[in-house]
Amino acid sequence: MKATHSIRLDKFGSVHDKGRQVSSFRELVEEELKYQDFSSIQKDNSEDYEVLKVASSRIVQLVDTMKFDSSTLVHDDIGASNIMWNRGNPILIDWTDSIAGPSLRDFAVLTFKSETNIIQCFEKEYGYIDREKLYLHQLMRFHRLVHFSRFEGVDPVEYKVLMSKLKKLLKREKPFG
């Protein structure tokens, strides 16, 4: 993963579609939030809608206080099913969801549901990980996956689990992991 994150890119957003690239991280977040519209659930489930509004507001608030100057190659879907092993060395596969963005986005994928302290494992390889920025990326991850499970994956059980975790994360104000 460290070798991947050393690849610097000029834009933010899709690495596969230049038409979906933007010049700043702020613009990337705005595009993602615009796509992840939850207004249709306002009538069905006003409590979830309010939680998602709070998450969206917190994301925008945090983005406005942080600086993300550069982007790197980000896998954006790291997990056991996307890692092959070659003589004890991990190889990332399935780059379909890859983007140009902050490397912390990959850490958010690996830590966003973890109740155990695994951030220190990454810090051994990478050095200090900004927990406030990781918190932002975890919020963004939950926001994306709640949208996916509700509108694309149509998995009501996963949706409820993700909403529960998102509520918990919003109360914590620090990242999981």
Q: What is the pLDDT of residues 61-78, one digit of tens each?
A: 999 999 998 899 999 998
Architecture of domain 2-172: Alpha-Beta Complex (3.90)
Number of H-type helices and E-type strands within the chain: 7, 7
Q: Which residues contact 66 (CB under 8 A, 6 or more apart)?
A: 132, 133, 136
Cβ–Cβ under 8 Å, residues 109 and 33: no
Question: Burial level of 81, CB count in 10 A (0-12/13-18/19+)?
Answer: exposed
Every domain of the chain and the residues it spans: 2-172
Binned at pLDDT 50, 70 and 90, residue 114 comes out as confident
Rounded Cα distance between 131 and 174, Å, is 7
Kindly state the average pLDDT of the residues 155-172: 94
- Prediction pTM value: 0.92
